[in-house]
Structure 1
């Protein structure tokens, strides 16, 4: 309980200090007054504020959002390293430039609405706005409210743009066969086939090791995942973070078909993989040599295809390599000769050869060098992502009559509602409905013709 403390200054004048006890049990001052009544009113008001959960020390709310987010909240917020990387990027790019200089106590719902409008005017997608507001700012101001940095949660009641749901792209078995043939490289074919037969997430797939597969029972255990992350956010400064549990924090086991098990067994034997080795790894490959060592006349080689600006250049020239950009043997040879001449003249230092210190397959590398070229060659009419193989796995199982609960367990879904979304996702799933509709419509036409014949009699 607070009280009014009597004090006398050097001039002999009596004043009263309002004293109260804060939530941490510390003795605090609510100000000094000329009479005891005002002092008692001040400490009583402070106690009321404490009981209402309002700011204990108004000075704490004067720190800027940038300072609170980067020095107080984010360093102590318990999240996965990959999520921390995402939050840091969104804070730096979308939140702090506008809201960062503002004081925590001065941020109100109107400022959050203005910030959302500003993001929309800059063309920021609704998905990014949703993550920034619902995931980051909501968590930040909830913590600030609990820490008595502010007594108002400015994000509550503020609406964001409607986030449209993205329809899942399902690959049909016929389309998968075309894609499989277009991959060409046996190791890439096996990786993609394993993915669609198991429905694993990318991080789970590239972390599979020989010890996870029981060849005798054909059972595959999923107990880890690899997450590609910036070394800045990795506890050991590496590129891939290995997490000892999958997404739902529970191991799961699934059975493989005989044919994919035999292929995996042959793959293990061919590469002489040990129990701790990755089933699918990015092995160091030398850069393809420049096959054309003969200097050709650029005028005889013709022009490159138009670049993004519609310009064309002579093959076998530096301009074609840099501006087209063309990577044919002639253009690569021209650029190699140019670099060699500069190094010989002492103008350039040779670039340090790139080394691979982790055999996990980077998602972006696989997408650019394997997946997209195969999609282009297969010409499926759709552009599925690698993750859509997981969606297709679920759709194929359910379309083939598999039990919903079994599919949920194989995919590792936390809720069966998620699994239900894959029902009727194949293009032919609605064939029965179309047939039923056509049957009724044809019946109506038959009845009409029958009536016309009857009237004609």
Structure 2
């Protein structure tokens, strides 16, 4: 249990010392009249003494009762812990606590350096108020001009800093509690249909690009995963591909193979027979290296190095020009793969697993409008199946089950271009 000490007077005065002129029966100490008189003393949960100064004895006694009660309930906070600066806590405590690989550490630190530290870096972490937290989030768009998903992403990092500070008992409550995060703006994706993908493959001006474009459309791999495909990861017999690494580029380090950023990205991907045949034919015509850093790499440049991200992006832009099709990005092939799965009736959880998303909400957020389109197709099928001759949607009988399929479905082909 703690106790209260009188700083202005000695507890064990020497015999014969003069009495305090202000307080009878007490002997003045050197601190008499300087600062707050009463000192609350108590031990923290680890047995280390904590002190605080107060104007009155009652305030000091109340402080001890408050701290002792907090220790009993498990809600005790070190009063000095919250004095750490936002910069120090973010970079030395929060960042190392994130279970992320080196490239992500660089990304996270870059966001903190650009948007958090210039605003609050020198502030004590306990000093940030909710009103300031809300105002800071507004700065992401007004001052730093971030758009699309970036305000939400940066705010997520910073909110995580304060959330960990609460868990660490550095602060009692996060200033972001009750403050809505910036809206996650997710633009609708409009993937190429099968006809457009085939057109791009046909107009690819090198066998390398044609193979990479088609494999990407058939697997939905991310650019780095596609460029990092290795022969030993392909199970031709079971028609599977083990996705667990990717080619990345880092300034000062160049291109290298690295593990995936998240555990969800590590997956076993079913391959179609067409994809297996395509890979087998390409490998037979262009055998991978059998030794060295890039041994087994399926797709590589003439100098036997991996394909760089900017290189394949440029190749796709050129191919789009030759095909006279709208400009596309490599990620559009991934979207195409997802759209094929959704149109085929795959549920969101399966699509999430195939794409390597960390959670199904990510999948739903990106492809919500495609799932909505698939739902509408389901309604059309049901309406057509139950419609009587002459009713809306009963224009043509299904050759398979004698049901009716609407004209709108018949005119769109096997896989239509999806619109929002």
TM-score, length of structure 1 as denominator length: 0.66
Q: How has the CA–CA distance of structure 1 residues 62 and 227 changed in structure 2, closer, same or farther, with 3 Å as cutoff?
A: farther
Task: Report what 2:318 is aligned to.
Answer: 373
The superposition leaves residues 346-401 of structure 1 with CA deviations (integer Å, 9 ceiling, x where unpaired) of xxxxxxxxxxxxx333323321x2122222332323x4321221221232244356
Could you tell me whether the CA contact under 8 Å between 1:30 and 1:43 is conserved in 2?
no
TM-superposition CA deviations, 1:172-217 (whole Å, max 9, x none): 12111221123211011101111111222323222221112233x2
Distance 1:23 1:364 in 2: 56
Residue 248 of structure 1: aligned partner = 264
Give the 3 Å change call, closer, same or farther, for CA 52–398 of structure 1 in structure 2. closer
Query: 5+ residue gaps in structure 2?
Result: 18-26, 30-36, 396-420
Measured in 2, the distance between the counterparts of 1:140 and 1:63 equals: 13
Distance change (3 Å), C-alpha of 1:439 and 1:164 = farther
Residue in structure 2 matched with residue 153 of structure 1 by the alignment: 174
Q: Secondary structure at the match of 1:18?
A: strand
* Correspondences of 1:191-230 after superposition (within 5 Å): 191-215=212-236, 217=237, 219-226=239-246, 228=248, 230=250
Cα shift readout 1:301-344 (whole Å, capped 9, x = no counterpart): xxxxxxxxxxxxxxxxxxxxxxxxxxxxxxxxxxxxxxxxxxxx
TM-superposed deviation, 1:107: 0.6
CA distance in 2, matches of 1:189, 1:17: 78
Matched, 1:266 2:281: yes
User: What's the RMSD between the two structures over aligned residues?
Assistant: 3.8
Instruction: Report Cα offsets for 1:231-283 as digits up to 9, x if no partner.
Output: 58xxxx564452179742654141332x4433322322333325641111244
Q: How do 1:402-413 residues align onto structure 2 when only pairs under 5 Å count?
A: 410-412=354-356
Residue 3 in 1 paired to residue 3 in 2?
yes
What residue is the counterpart of 1:388 in the other structure? Answer: 332
| CA distance 1:272–1:70, shift in 2 (3 Å) | same
Residue 120 of structure 2 corresponds to residue 99 of structure 1: yes
Q: Is the CA contact 1:399–1:424 (under 8 Å) kept in the aligned structure 2?
A: no
Q: Distance in 2 between matches of 1:245 and 1:85?
A: 12
2:280 and 2:129 map into 1 onto residues whose CA distance is 61
Secondary structure of 2:283's aligned partner: helix
Q: Secondary structure at the match of 2:42?
A: strand
Distance 1:9 1:151 in 2: 41
Taking structure 1 as reference, are residues 102 and 33 closer, same or farther at Cα in structure 2, changes over 3 Å only? closer
Cα distance change of structure 1 residues 372 and 139 upon mapping to structure 2, 3 Å threshold: same
Give, in whole Å, the separation in 1 of the partners of 2:150 and 2:354.
30
- Cα separation, partners in 2 of 1:278 and 1:394, compared to 1, 3 Å: same
Deviations along 1:384-422, whole A, 9 cap, x unmatched? 321221221232244356788766654455666747854
Question: Alpha carbons of 1:129 and 1:269: their partners in 2 closer, same or farther (altered >3 Å)?
Answer: same
What corresponds to 1:325 in structure 2? none
Three-state SS of the structure 2 residue aligned to 1:57 is coil
User: Offset of 1:142 from its aligned partner?
Assistant: 1.3
Task: Write the distance in 1 (CA, Å) between the matches of 2:154 and 2:102.
Answer: 17
Please give the alpha-carbon distance, in whole angstroms, between the structure 1 residues aligned to 2:301 and 2:282: 14
What is the distance in 1 between the residues matched to 2:120 and 2:138?
13
- Relative distance call for 1:32 and 1:392 in structure 2 (3 A) is closer
The alignment's TM-score, normalised by the length of structure 2, stands at 0.71
Structure 1 residues 90 and 5 mapped into 2: Cα distance closer, same or farther (>3 Å)? same
5 Å-filtered alignment, 1:7-406, equals 7-8=11-12, 12-13=27-28, 17-31=39-53, 39-50=60-71, 51=73, 53=75, 55-58=77-80, 60-122=81-143, 123-133=145-155, 135-215=156-236, 217=237, 219-226=239-246, 228=248, 230=250, 239-240=255-256, 242-243=258-259, 247-248=263-264, 251-257=267-273, 259-274=274-289, 276-284=295-303, 359-367=305-313, 369-381=314-326, 383-400=327-344
| Cα contact 1:170–1:425 (8 A) shared by 2 | no
Change (3 A) 1:415 1:39: closer
Query: Could you say if the C-alpha distance between residues 127 and 18 of structure 1 is closer, same or farther in structure 2, counting changes exceeding 3 Å?
Result: same
Q: 1:442 Cα deviation (Å)?
A: 12
> Which deviates more from structure 2 when the two are superposed, residues 110-119 or residues 391-400?
391-400
CA separation in 1, counterparts of 2:233 and 2:87? Answer: 45
Distance 1:28 1:431 in 2: 69
Does the aligned pair in 1 maintain the 2:219–2:269 contact within 8 Å?
Answer: no
In the comparison of the two structures, how many residue pairs are matched?
357
Residue 39 of structure 1: how far off its partner (Å): 4.8
SS class of match (2:149): helix
